[in-house]
Amino acid sequence: QGYYTRRGGVGESGDFVTSPEISQVFGELIGIWYISEWIATGKPKAFQLVELGPGRGTLTDDILRVFNQLASLLSKCDVSIHLVEVSPKLSEIQALMLTGGKVQSNPEDESAYMKGVSKTGVPIFWYRDIQDVPPGYSFYLAHEFFDALPIHKFQRTEKGWREVLVDIDPEVPDQLRFVLSPSGTPATENFIQPEETRDHVEVCPEAGVIIQKLACRIEKDGGAALVADYGHDGTKTDTFRGFQNHKLHDVLSAPGTADLTADVDFSYLRKMTQGRTATLGPIKQREFLKNMGIDLRLQVLLQNSRDAATRKQLLHSYDMLMSPKKMGDRFNFFALLPHHRLAQPDKKDKPESKAPLPPVAGFGELLLK
């Protein structure tokens, strides 16, 4: 029935809440990450920020605020925003959030189906598919995007791998149940890695395809991709679950009314880059945000806030993002970068000619000079 295309329940009143909805600091630090990478690669004259599945647009809004605050730094750079969104409902909400609703529809033959200008004067374009986004030096963002893509589930049996399928329960005709395929399926042949050691595996081929597209683009045009999501590094098995009104929900009951999610297998994403780009992570959200300076930012916001209620909210949202029991350990950050971004200069050539490359923000400890 199209959960996202019909409703898409992000936020307090919906079925789940995401980090940007919890704290403005989250998006601000991601905005800083992109600017840091832009500086590290020699401040190219233009960059596109491409977000996949932008939700309500909150994250892009926070990032745009940072770009605006650092306008003097970006003054000679041509920045544009490119949102990949299939849901008509969500693209309306994004347009309202980012432009105040000042958008226009594009003719059918144009790659973007809608365009507008942000409140801070940055051009914004909407697309249905990543391949419609124009080529060029780009930063990609996928926050809680990959976990919403469909998965195949597989179970190892004495007779080999079997696919987990959905069937109608013969005992209760209006109920669904999981069954194992009687024999191998095309998916068991194609999606199980030969070196797999787990007994139960979830594979998201669509995520593999999208990561390949990102890796090809970054290899060709430069830039970077940042992925933030629930996930693991090829260790977990059964993570498929549903959320309704912020509570766990049986994935097979009333399909189309709950948010369905499965943890992202970052080891699979890494394999699917096929070596076209370097990868960093996955690193736990609390480590990434700490390395990005969240503690300093929190101190500044606490000092600047006049009332106790705001301070309480700031501390509460910090705890949500950083506590190991909440989002701190469950969320991970993962990055795709061009190989040359991480290659250390060869000392034998001319040691004085090349300065060592600046570290990639967020993935190493923050050292304050």
256 pLDDT tier (thresholds 50, 70, 90)? confident
Whether residue 352 is predicted with pLDDT greater than 70 in this model: the reply is: no
| Mode of pairing for the β-strands spanning 46-52 and 103-105 | unpaired
Buried-state track 252-275, b at ≥16 Cβ within 10 A, e below 16: eeeeeebbbbbbbbbebbbebbee
State the average pLDDT over residues 180-209: 96
Cβ neighbours of residue 355 under 8 Å, at least 6 residues apart?
Answer: 345
Output the pLDDT for position 356.
81
Angle formed by the axes of helices 308-322 and 24-40, nearest 10°: 60
Is residue 104 packed enough to be buried (19+ CB in 10 Å), middle (13-18) or exposed (0-12)? exposed
Output the pLDDT for position 20.
81
β-strand partners of 321: none
pLDDT digits (tens, 9 = 90+) for 210-249: 999 999 999 999 999 999 999 999 999 999 999 988 899 9
In whole angstroms, give the CA distance from residue 202 to residue 234. Answer: 10
What is the Cα 365 distance to its own chain's centre?
Answer: 22
329 pLDDT tier (thresholds 50, 70, 90)? very high
In whole angstroms, give the CA distance from residue 290 to residue 322. Answer: 9
Cis omega (within 30 of 0) for bond into 351 = no
What sign does the CA torsion over 337, 54, 59, 291 have?
Answer: negative
State the average pLDDT over residues 15-28: 82
- Give the angle subtended at the CA of 29 by the CAs of 23 and 30, to the nearest 5°: 100
In whole angstroms, give the CA distance from residue 56 to residue 155. Answer: 36
In the CATH scheme, what architecture does the domain 3-150+204-342 have? 3-Layer(aba) Sandwich (3.40)
5 pLDDT tier (thresholds 50, 70, 90)? low
- With tokens 């051009």, the residue in question is 123
Share above pLDDT 70 across residues of the chain, in percent, rounded to a whole number? 92
368 pLDDT tier (thresholds 50, 70, 90)? confident
7 pLDDT tier (thresholds 50, 70, 90)? low
The boundaries of every CATH 3.40.50.12710 domain in the chain are 3-150+204-342
Output the pLDDT for position 10.
57
Output the pLDDT for position 1.
59
Identity of residue 118:
S
Output the pLDDT for position 15.
59
- Give the angle subtended at the CA of 15 by the CAs of 14 and 17, to the nearest 5°: 80
Tokens describing residue 338: 């061009």
Task: Read off the pTM.
Answer: 0.93
Output the pLDDT for position 345.
61
In whole angstroms, give the CA distance from residue 176 to residue 253. Answer: 7
Whether residue 14 is predicted with pLDDT greater than 90 in this model: the reply is: no
18 pLDDT tier (thresholds 50, 70, 90)? confident
What is the Cα 326 distance to its own chain's centre?
Answer: 18
Whether residue 176 is predicted with pLDDT greater than 60 in this model: the reply is: yes
Number of H helices, E strands in the chain: 13, 17
pLDDT digits (tens, 9 = 90+) for 75-92: 999 999 999 999 999 999
Assess contact for 115 and 80: CB atoms under 8 A.
Answer: no
Output the pLDDT for position 259.
87
Whether residue 12 is predicted with pLDDT greater than 80 in this model: the reply is: no
Q: Which DSSP state fits 275?
A: T
Q: What is the DSSP string of 239-270?
A: --EEEETTEEE-TTSSTTSSEEE--EEHHHHH
Output the pLDDT for position 357.
86
Assess contact for 81 and 47: CB atoms under 8 A.
Answer: no
pLDDT digits (tens, 9 = 90+) for 265-291: 999 999 999 999 999 999 999 999 999
Cβ neighbours of residue 207 under 8 Å, at least 6 residues apart?
Answer: 146, 149, 264, 268, 269, 272
Output the pLDDT for position 9.
57
